[in-house]
Structure 1
């Protein structure tokens, strides 16, 4: 994959959230377009490319759309980044940002964000009893920060239709992480609070996402990256076909 196929890419993760500390990794997320003609053969191109040096995940345009329509929190943040965090922002990427609200739906936002937060809590519950090694404590604190962030961002999307990537008070998240590392049960009241908040607060989102803008955008992407084959010569004519 060459750089010209990248449509949108930016810095995500703890740096984007404002939660990075000394030694934190810098994570990047982006989407690319496979050459259109490669989608029609027996073996279609890989839909995701993940590297660790640097830490970067790239999804093919169609896969990213499916993830976003499903409410995937990691995919969704790519189209809500602050301007300064984008490293690649093509016209087609700009169009995608422009239709970001159409990917949202009440049911899927709730299921995805609360679901991911619950997964983080299960990881906290699974910690071993007794003294923790420093690395284990840092890992638990990180899971706790993500639990709190996912709950907050999910409820914001659900009630306002907007997503703020950078958290308002990073120290609050780090303090929460340290308290949970010492006692994982501290996370349960927060999770229950947000479960109740989703039940009680009104949503501005429709029940289902609007797939039409994504479909139209993806077709524009396919047209843009379509390179017609060379004209078929006489020797390649189909037997019995019309001349």
Structure 2
């Protein structure tokens, strides 16, 4: 998969979290800018490119912003990665990293992270309906549930997001316990539901869409002038 005009790209997923094991896939996430003149016609360019072997997802800048403003946990990782996990960083990408806190809102972070965690819990509960599910896959869903709860609560309470988890071994032990009994995940989910409800968030109720919009317009200006053959 060849995508041009990459603004920001890095390694995400289990490798970034510190939860990878031998044989784990290496997931990459990135953002690109479509040439501005391609956005002006009747047919819009593709907004996302997804590939496997290697596992890579790249979103167009506008789509990435919409997802981030909605609190999407997956895309949000891209602007909170440790420096060593970035593989592409451009000046516009660095600008966006600098704006990352303006993309956040208390309600959207809470709903998105708890929502995704609840989806993971439902997958665990439905194990009996998928007899071919392996203990490894169940343990993986359990680790995701715990990570989403922990990271989401940190972001909600402090306005900061730590990508690498504390005590990775505790996540693996949790996964093993849930693989043996999916209901073992229920107390953790209830704990974080209560924690979110009882905690006053450091985040505003609404994100600052003005900052994201201004950044996106700078992207459009740069890639329009380049398309016309004049310096950006």
TM-score of the two chains, using structure 1 as the length reference: 0.91
Gaps of 5+ in 2: none
Counterpart for residue 185 of structure 2: 187
In structure 2, the residue corresponding to 1:65 is in which secondary structure? helix
Counterpart for residue 239 of structure 1: none
Q: CA separation in 2, counterparts of 1:97 and 1:86? A: 12
CA shift, 1:201, in A, is 1.1
Counterpart for residue 136 of structure 1: 134
Answer with 113-122 or 3-12: which moved more: 3-12
Question: RMSD of aligned C-alpha atoms?
Answer: 1.6
CA shift, 1:2, in A, is 5.6
Structure 1 segment 87-102 matched on structure 2, within 5 A:
87-102=87-102
TM-score of the two chains, using structure 2 as the length reference: 0.95
In structure 2, the residue corresponding to 1:163 is in which secondary structure? coil
Give CA deviations for 1:161-182 in whole Å, capped at 9, x if unaligned: 0000000110000000000000
Structure 1 segment 29-40 matched on structure 2, within 5 A:
29-40=29-40
Structure 1 segments, 4+ long, off by >6 Å, are none
1:201 pairs with one of 199, 217, 225: 199
Counterpart for residue 143 of structure 2: 145
For residues 64 and 37 of structure 1, do their structure 2 counterparts lie closer, same or farther at Cα, with a shift above 3 Å needed? same
In structure 2, the residue corresponding to 1:171 is in which secondary structure? helix
Structure 1 segment 165-176 matched on structure 2, within 5 A:
165-176=163-174
In structure 2, the residue corresponding to 1:29 is in which secondary structure? strand
| Residue 65, structure 1, aligned to residue 65, structure 2 | yes
Counterpart for residue 11 of structure 2: 11
